Amino acid sequence: MIRGGEEGVRCEAAMGEALRVLGGKWSYEVISRLYYRTLRFNELRRSLGGITVKSLTDIVRQLESLGIVRREVIPTTPVSVEYSLTEKGKEYRAVLTQMREWGEKWGSSGGLDDLDGVANDRRKNEN
């Protein structure tokens, strides 16, 4: 059922907020790594492989600002920083797992390949 009015606007805003977390290429991977344990920055970077320091810094800052990741400064010499998921982040991981399962079920063999063609056709018609 399509929702209208104020309820529809709230629903759209909530969905937009949930999808905004996935804005970065590496967001899912960062959330997945932190789901199982707290990691220091370089441990997280090594576990991801192929991500630049700048990209990882940007992603953890964004996820921290969204309340998904907790950043804790450890007063050691030298100072170190640990990252973990907040309760909000742990709940979001469950959403990502469901999305992955949906993708595995309906991905390339489930007709989703056709979506690229539909999107391309729409772009051609708009121009």
Domain membership flag for residue 79: yes
State the average pLDDT for the chain.
Answer: 80
Domain membership flag for residue 109: no
Residue 78: asked if its preceding bond is cis (omega within 30°), the reply is: yes
Domain membership flag for residue 80: yes
Mean pLDDT on 97-126: 62
CATH code at position 76: 1.10.10.10
pTM of the predicted structure, to 2 decimals: 0.68
Domain membership flag for residue 126: no
**21: number of Cβ within 10 Å:** 20
Sorting pLDDT into bands at 50, 70 and 90, what band is 120? very low
Range of the domain at 31: 22-102
| Run of H or E residues at 9 | helix 5-20
Domain membership flag for residue 11: no
Domain membership flag for residue 110: no
For 40-79, b where at least 16 C-beta lie within 10 A, e where not — what string? ebeebbeebeebeeeebeebbebbeebebbbeeeeeeeee
Q: What is the pLDDT of residues 56-98, one digit of tens each?
A: 999 999 999 999 999 999 999 999 999 999 999 998 888 888 8
Q: Domain total for the chain?
A: 1
